Amino acid sequence: MKRAVLIIPFLFLLSGCNIAVLEPKSDTAGDQAFLIIFSFWLMMIVVGTVFILFIRFVFKYRYTDKKKNFMPKDVKGNKKLEATWIILPVLLLIVLAVPTIAITYEQSPVTGGDSDEKDGTHVYVTAEQFAWNFEHESGKEERNNLVIPEGESIILHLTSKDVIHSFWVPHLGGKVDVLPGEELVYEIRNPEKGTYKGKCAEYCGLQHAKMTFEANVISAAEYETYVNEN
């Protein structure tokens, strides 16, 4: 019985549920997936070490008739031990902080400014209760269907007509808050061909759950045709 309980979490792991953020289809989402996996394994080193020590000590110091009068040595003020448990966590935090800060700053959306001149394909995204409007540089507009070319930098200009929404395509990138009265510019680097699900990731009203869209990544030539057709 006890063993059966231990197996349950592993069955969940083996069941193969699809987690979109762990199947990145753009460089942007790839960096995010790297951070998730990297911090997971770094934490697993800590969790593993703690559990091994815990189990060892449970057995080593368990109560027996022999150890009835055992009194452990007082280790107060042990400089070596104290230095170890200060320096090790600090090192771990530094190792975790370096890629986290680098990627977070690189991916942070910026406010408008001269972002129109940025190299790449620009799409003007307007969110509203409860839909997404995508306008391309040619003037082509489509609702709830984001069409972008593969292999390029996609520069999204995000704004909202009403309340705060959040742009998220788990396979490609996000989440980015979409604010009324303010344009945020977010870049998705090098998306791969395919059709992905997008959604609003910020509760924005009763129909929030229906605020979904499709993201279609197609070839550059197909995109050229798409934006110039009516």
Catalog residues that contact Cu ion under the rule CB under 5 A.
165, 200, 204, 211
Judged by beta carbon, residue 196 or residue 223, the one nearer Cu ion is 196
Judged by beta carbon, residue 67 or residue 210, the one nearer Cu ion is 210
In the complex, the smallest distance separating the C-beta of residue 129 from Cu ion, rounded to whole angstroms, is 7
Cα–Cα distance, 62 to 57 (Å, whole number): 8
Question: What are the start-end ranges of the E strands in the chain?
Answer: 110-111, 121-128, 131-136, 141-143, 145-149, 153-160, 165-169, 173-178, 184-189, 194-200, 212-218
Judged by beta carbon, residue 51 or residue 203, the one nearer Cu ion is 203
Token readout for 214 is: 């499709």
Judged by beta carbon, residue 177 or residue 222, the one nearer Cu ion is 177
The b-or-e profile of 38-76 (16+ CB within 10 A means b, else e) is eeeeeeeeeeeeeeeeeeeeeeeeeeeeeeeeeeeeeee
Token readout for 2 is: 């006890």
DSSP state string for 105-137:
HHH--EESTTGGGSSSEEEEEEEETTEEEEEET
Cα–Cα distance, 36 to 40 (Å, whole number): 6
For residue 23, the SS3 value is coil
List, in sequence order, every residue forming a beta bridge with 149; answer none if it has no partner.
218
In the complex, the smallest distance separating the C-beta of residue 152 from Cu ion, rounded to whole angstroms, is 27
Cα–Cα distance, 39 to 97 (Å, whole number): 10
In the complex, the smallest distance separating the C-beta of residue 205 from Cu ion, rounded to whole angstroms, is 7
Judged by beta carbon, residue 130 or residue 223, the one nearer Cu ion is 130
Judged by beta carbon, residue 106 or residue 162, the one nearer Cu ion is 162
Q: Is it true that the peptide bond before 38 is cis, omega within 30 degrees of 0?
A: no
In the complex, the smallest distance separating the C-beta of residue 104 from Cu ion, rounded to whole angstroms, is 23
In the complex, the smallest distance separating the C-beta of residue 197 from Cu ion, rounded to whole angstroms, is 15
In the complex, the smallest distance separating the C-beta of residue 102 from Cu ion, rounded to whole angstroms, is 30
